[in-house]
Amino acid sequence: MKAAVLYEVNTPLKIEDVEIDDPQDNEVLIKLEAVGVCHTDLSFMKGEMPVPTPVVVGHEGCGIIEKVGPGVTDLAPGDKVISMVAISCGKCRYCAEGRPTMCPENLNVQMMAELPFFKGKRLHKGDTDLHQLFGLGSFAEYCCVHERSVVKVRNDAPSDVVCLMGCGVTTGVGAATNTGAVKPGETVVVYGVGGVGLASVMGAKLAGAGNIIAVARSKNKLDMALELGADHAVNPNDVDDVVQAVKALTPDAQGADVGIEAAGVASVMEQTFASIHNGGRCVLAGMAPMEAIMTFMPFEFLLGKRIMGTVQGDIIAQVEVPRLVDMYMDGKLPIDKLITKTFPLEEVNEAFAAMENKEVLRSVIKIT
Ligand SMILES: [Zn+2]
Ligand SMILES: [Zn+2]
């Protein structure tokens, strides 16, 4: 089967014929139909985040289960599933507390790019074993993953749209609804409105925000934010001081109740924090390079301001993803508007180039 392999950071992905094993205990083999192109893949491909190579990248996959391994009882061939960037073991204290995205298994999967629970690799090119980014490796015709890495969704959901639930959409929506816990009527500012930030705008709208401010340098992205429910758009290129321009749009110019950073830039994270009022909540959803450093005045924390990190929007995937898919199918969460282009697997490098050149909001690889 074909897969997109990263042999060395900062080199193009190679579409290769590779061998894939049958699913072993508690694993499933998925015939992939569509995979979202997420900036997180690019962070690993460029070496901004460490990853062992050779590795099959891609993590926002949606497809149909073809085979199940021994011990799989809740999934069967023919089920449509979405692969989740965050895995949970279901047994640790975080999983027991209802905070599955905090599961320590996540870090193991991310650092080793192998199947969870130290189960190794299922992809091979000749004598070489290939890693699977996030234990997934979705830019491929098939993937063999742990059953806890996937969520079953309704079969009539279009794979080339709902694949975005695997990472970007759930991260953005959850940053607003779960981590930021936006309340009806609140003012929310979203810095960076690519795929994740636009999902945050939609999440804030779903939560009943009274006033949503989108900040970005791209007119296209700001226009889409306005279409998806933002009340105001601020382009830093057009104002002297972006923080003051945002605050001027909040009640008594005190700042937003909730700030969400989805650009993945340390200086923008500082601006997001500066844009919330005393007692406000700042959610950092963007992924900055590993070596990035932020600077804050400790005094501001004495004013009750809070900064919160988030892993995949703090979602409980098995509960929330099927719900979000239903909302999309009912026209209440128009995530299809985020997708501006589709590519075949053979053009995966072109898809990343289009992302870097800011030609697309979000693109999807369709696997035929
Ligand atoms: Zn756990
Ligand atoms: Zn992602």
The DSSP line for 172-212 is HHHIIIIIS---TT-EEEEE--SHHHHHHHHHHHHTT-SEE
- Give distance in angstroms: CA of 119 to centre of ligand 1: 16
Q: Which residues share a beta bridge with 234?
A: 215
Q: Count other C-beta atoms under 10 Å from residue 337's C-beta.
A: 14
DSSP line for 151-179: EEE-TTS-HHHHGGGGTHHHHHHHIIIII
Reading the block at residue 314, the tokens are 């703090």
Q: What's the pTM?
A: 0.94
Alpha carbon of 121 to ligand 1 centroid (Å) = 21
Tokens 């190679």: give the residue: 14
Q: Where are the domains of the chain?
A: 2-166+334-366, 169-311
Domain 2-166+334-366 has what CATH class?
alpha beta
Residues with CB under 5 A from ligand 1 (ion): 88-89, 92, 95, 103
The alpha carbon of 135 and the centre of ligand 1 are apart by a number of angstroms equal to 15
Q: Do domains 2-166+334-366 and 169-311 have the same CATH topology?
A: no
> Which bound ligand lies closest to the C-alpha atom of 99?
1
Whether CATH 3.40.50.720 fits 169-311: yes
Q: What is the pLDDT along the chain (368 residues), one digit of tens a residue?
A: 999 999 999 999 999 999 999 999 999 999 999 999 999 999 999 998 899 999 999 999 999 999 999 999 999 999 999 999 999 999 999 999 999 999 999 999 988 999 999 898 999 999 999 999 999 999 999 999 999 999 999 999 999 999 999 999 999 999 999 999 999 999 999 999 999 999 999 999 999 999 999 999 999 999 999 999 999 999 999 999 999 999 999 999 999 999 999 999 999 999 999 999 999 999 999 989 889 999 999 999 999 999 999 999 999 999 999 999 999 999 999 999 999 999 999 999 999 999 999 888 899 999 98
Query: For residues 102 and 169, what is the distance between their CA atoms, to the nearest angstrom?
Result: 18
Query: What span, in angstroms and rounded, lies between the C-alpha atoms of 357 and 25?
Result: 42
